[in-house]
Amino acid sequence: MSYNSLMAITDCRHFSGYKPCNKGEKCDSSCASMDVPTMSVLIVHLGALGAVVRSTSLLKAIKRKYPRSMVTWVTDAPAHYLLKNHPAIDRVLTTAEADLLQLGALEFEVALVIDKSLKAVGVLKRTTVDQVFGFTASPRNGAIVPATPAAEELWELGLNNQKKFFENEKPETQLMIEALELGEYQRDDYWLPLTENETREATLRHYQWLSERNKELIIGLNTGCSPVIPYKKLTVDYHRMMIERILKDFPKAEVVLLGGPEDTDRNALIAQGLPVISSQTESGLRDGLISVAACDVVITGDSLGMHMAISQQKQVIAWFGPTCAHEIDLYDRGFKILTKSPCSPCWKRTCEKNIMCYDQVSLEEIVHALESCCANSLSGRLTALHSTSEEVPGTLAST
């Protein structure tokens, strides 16, 4: 006798076997929420936080190719906080030993290995997988190699600076789709939704910030970056100069400083004596995402804050020094500002130049881009307001 005939649909996506799923009164075929996956997909992306956010753009393509799949995503902490409660991800695990023990109880038809790292490939050894796309490793010397010929282009870009810096014109989102054989590239946007409670908090935060000095628009300055490539952030003095210019040219805009725990002291120096708002920097990744969502426009380097802003469909002004601007897709919602440094891009983690690439970013170009981004944001907000007013009786159709 099968377990299903005893009491429950045990292969339902929502069935755990140790507690009710709270989606129906009975766990049988009459449940309207019953959903039986036809296959199991493993995503292994441990990499940088911003890269993990960018990889959420793969999820719609995954669901197109494997429409009734059950998706498990393995990542490094703390990236799992960004992925939790995602509607397209059934299970998020980290590389902590307790989570890898859980992984060992599972089997997968398909694994998508996005990272070019031995650690990512090693995750596969903790489970059973029928077919691997993306990257794997030579068992003898540990060299990372393409799992299938489709991943060769993305693989080669990591080995050839000429191709990576000057010849490639594809964004990383497209390269990943092709490497993982997820079908025709459709330029899917990032997919990192807020929960209902987070959406309410972002809206509340937005209006609280506007009301402090009776402003009309929130301009967020993402001031930091990870320590891996520290040259992806502007100096304290440059940020202060930028703020003074914004306050002069955009008097109806409120400036909010964004960042993480590593930016707390730096943001205090940037804000000293200036009428700006410093967002919480030590309340966790999801709270940081809420602060980004509360902004209208975000000015940022190539960092987690940039990817968060893209994911929340903000108007983005992103400046690029050591990294490759062509690898980033802003989805027609902003502008890329390139340093004037002749040695950019370089991807170097250390640099001894007297004049750094971040010192050669044009403030005039940022201000010009900001004019367009502010106009686009206000226009979009008015369009949304009119749309809402038409749908909800009793609301004003104009402001």
**Are 65 and 106 found together in one domain?**
yes
Q: What percent of the chain has pLDDT over 70?
A: 93
The boundaries of the domain holding residue 261 are 196-391
> Residue 192: pLDDT above 90?
yes
- pLDDT at position 9: 76
Where residue 383 falls among pLDDT bands split at 50, 70, 90? low
- pLDDT at position 7: 62
For residue 7, being part of any structural domain is answered with yes
Structure tokens at 97: 């030993």
For residue 333, being part of any structural domain is answered with yes
CATH of the domain at 58: 3.40.50.2000
**Are 247 and 172 found together in one domain?**
no
pLDDT in tens, 248-281: 999 999 999 999 999 999 999 999 999 999 999 9
**Are 23 and 128 found together in one domain?**
no
Residues 6 or more apart whose CB falls under 8 angstroms from that of 62 comprise 41, 43, 69, 71, 88, 112, 182
Residue 334 CA to residue 357 CA, distance in Å, equals 21
Where residue 103 falls among pLDDT bands split at 50, 70, 90? very high
- pLDDT at position 246: 97
For residue 396, being part of any structural domain is answered with no
Domain end marker among 124, 147, 179:
179
For residue 139, being part of any structural domain is answered with yes
Residue 176 CA to residue 112 CA, distance in Å, equals 10
For residue 327, being part of any structural domain is answered with yes
**Are 169 and 200 found together in one domain?**
no
For residue 191, being part of any structural domain is answered with no
Q: What is the mean pLDDT of residues 293-321?
A: 96
Where residue 386 falls among pLDDT bands split at 50, 70, 90? very low
For residue 32, being part of any structural domain is answered with no
> Residue 382: pLDDT above 60?
no
**Are 200 and 346 found together in one domain?**
yes
**Are 223 and 340 found together in one domain?**
yes
Long-range contacts of 94-103 (CB under 8 A, 24+ apart): 95/46, 95/119, 95/123, 99/74, 100/126, 103/72, 103/74, 103/127
Question: What residue has token string 């809420």?
Answer: 290
Residue 176 CA to residue 155 CA, distance in Å, equals 10
**Are 120 and 209 found together in one domain?**
no
For residue 187, being part of any structural domain is answered with no
Long-range contacts of 123-131 (CB under 8 A, 24+ apart): 123/44, 123/46, 123/74, 123/95, 124/42, 124/44, 126/100, 127/42, 127/103, 129/42
Domain end marker among 132, 154, 179:
179
**Domain tally for the chain?**
3
Where residue 25 falls among pLDDT bands split at 50, 70, 90? confident
